[in-house]
Chains A and B, each alone.
Chain A
Amino acid sequence: MMRTRDLSYWLFLAPVLLALSMVVIIPLVFGIYYSFTNWNGIEVGSFVGLKNYLAILDDKEFLDSMWFTVKFSVVSIILINFFGLSLALIVTSKIKSNKFLRTIFFMPNLIGGLILGFIWQFIFIKVFAGIGSVFGIQSLEGWLSTTQTGFWGLVILMSWQMSGYIMVIYIAYLEGVPGELIEAAEIDGASPFQRLRYIIFPLVAPAFTVSMFLTLSNTFKLYDQNLSLTGGGPYNSTQMVAMEIFKTAFTESEMAYAQAKAVIFFVIVAVISLTQVYINKKREVEM
């Protein structure tokens, strides 16, 4: 046992405690304090109460980015989980190419979001236009130049990237489904759809929760892909919350105001994560 009055206990903890305090705790506490002042990054200035927070309620750009983020997250969560589970079912169905396919589907996750965004910018702008003009499909031209195509561009990029990640999680649960159970159902004459609906889905239910929240926290906080794919354009219409906060702080230099937005962002993310923890705990108890 180590005792809390032992020097070694504190020596073992000191480096990470120092780093966490200086990098996370102090900036968070200062940040919350600054959000109630007219801090400009250099001087704290005076206390302004809720002024920054009230201003956010009328900030159309921020509210638009919030709405865009919510829409984007909802659509992405559905598609990523649909593809993730489908890919997992495909690669666990004892096909010959399964190892190779897993490698391919997972690959985009190792590459930075910024780079992936640039690659897809090329696909959407140049390749889509090329295909469009060859086959005379008008709707493939001018991608990323409208809000609609920017939205779907981001959704496609994130589905392509994250499905392989979510696939890995579903695989972990699918491999826990006993083979005898499936075979017994097969012998009893259950169709593939019935096996999926009545045996596999209930057994991988915990994976749904894990995957849903992982996708949600990733899409809600998205920044790199947003920056490199659309840059928020056209006219900030595809700008997500993380980017909007960054811009308020470092382009418009409204530090205290940006920090108030950052605090709201923190509260939303924390509520999402705590809900997940709560649901997981509840399920563990039931099991």
Chain B
Amino acid sequence: MRKHKWPIEILGIILGIIWLSPFYLMIVNSFKTKREMFEDTLKLPAGFNFDNYIEAFTELNFLQTFMNSVLITVVSVLVIIVFSSMAAYALSRNKSKISSFIFFLFVAAMLIPFQSVMIPLVTIFGKLEMLNSAGIIFMYLGFGASLSIFLYHGTLNGIPKSLDEAATIDGANRFQIFWHIIFPMLKPITVTVAILNTIWIWNDYLLPSLVINQEGMETIPLKMFFFFGEYTKQWHLALAGLTIAIIPVIIAYFFAQREIIKGISEGAVK
């Protein structure tokens, strides 16, 4: 009965193709030899030549780099989840002026752009000899806690305090109450917090470039400059390298896209 939607359908599909075309061009050209690339970037490659991939994989030391990224991202996100949820719990169960002030402090910190604290941050942590993996995880806690506490706080306010009180009467202490009763109830918001922080930390370039830019410690974004020399660009290797770097993200996206899109829109609208 309704009118045909096909003009909109076609428009949508055309836009979809346009949106995908950069990825298509990247992948198609990543299979070309240096010479083929020089001749034409539009036609299909002569064959599926994996030489670029093998070379890029080796030059990027990809296994090591990937593990560096995984380690820093996973540990930082776990640290953020544990400590932000605990802090938000304390702030939601104590409604004093001190709590409101601390909460305000975290929210206000969200207004501060990274560039405004970057220079003293690096010099202070340099003096403390903390420009390493442990240091960067601690920094991610400092920068990531605000949004995470804010999100947890909103949910915690909706969990009745009578639950805590019942557990107190049964003799449980604060840590037991939080970890055994409250934290399991926070699972949906924990998923959101985990997604938002993972995307941010996994893709972050500037902070690791200042803190852990040493041989063997680099995360994936830091290694992306490898094929972009000042005067020479090895496009055939660069495109293979970029594709390798994107694959893990795309795999994760296809497994968890509903949660990811939901998490991002929740984080943005609040």
Contacts and interface: CB of A to CB of B under 8 A. Distances in A.
Interface in B38-86: 40-42, 83-84, 86
B149 A221 contact: no
Contacts of B239: 122
B115 A110 contact: no
B242 A27 contact: no
Given A9-B90, A90-B8, A270-B111, A122 B265 contact: no
A101 interface: yes
Nearest to A171: B265
A172 B269 contact: yes
Nearest to B108: A270
A247 B9 CA distance: 47
A36 interface: no
Interface residues of A, number: 91
B142 A12 contact: no
A100 interface: yes
B206 A27 contact: no
Q: Is the interface of B mostly helix, strand, loop or mixed?
A: helix
A57 interface: no
Nearest to A30: B120
Given A112-B221, A115-B221, A130-B40, A105 B174 contact: no
Interface in A213-263: 214, 221, 223-224, 227-228, 241-242, 245-246, 249, 255, 258-259, 262-263
Interface of B: 5, 8-9, 11-13, 15-16, 19-20, 22-23, 25-26, 29, 37, 40-42, 83-84, 86-87, 89-91, 93-94, 96, 98-99, 102, 105-106, 109-121, 123-124, 138-139, 141-143, 145-146, 149, 161, 173-175, 178, 199, 202-206, 220-221, 224, 228, 235, 238-239, 242, 245-246, 249-250, 252-253, 257, 260-261, 264-265, 268-269
Given A16-B149, A93-B8, A110-B199, 8 more contacts: A8-B174, A27-B121, A34-B120, A97-B13, A105-B19, A110-B252, A115-B246, A126-B37
29 contacts: A2-B90, A3-B94, A13-B87, A15-B83, A19-B83, A28-B116, A30-B124, A90-B12, A90-B15, A95-B12, A100-B16, A104-B16, A105-B16, A109-B199, A112-B202, A112-B204, A113-B205, A115-B221, A118-B228, A119-B23, A119-B242, A123-B25, A168-B261, A214-B268, A224-B205, A228-B228, A249-B119, A262-B117, A274-B111
Interface of A: 1-4, 6, 8-9, 12-13, 15-17, 19-20, 22-28, 30-31, 34, 41-42, 87, 90-91, 93-98, 100-115, 118-120, 122-123, 126-127, 130-131, 134, 160, 164-165, 168-169, 171-172, 210, 214, 221, 223-224, 227-228, 241-242, 245-246, 249, 255, 258-259, 262-263, 265-266, 269-270, 273-274
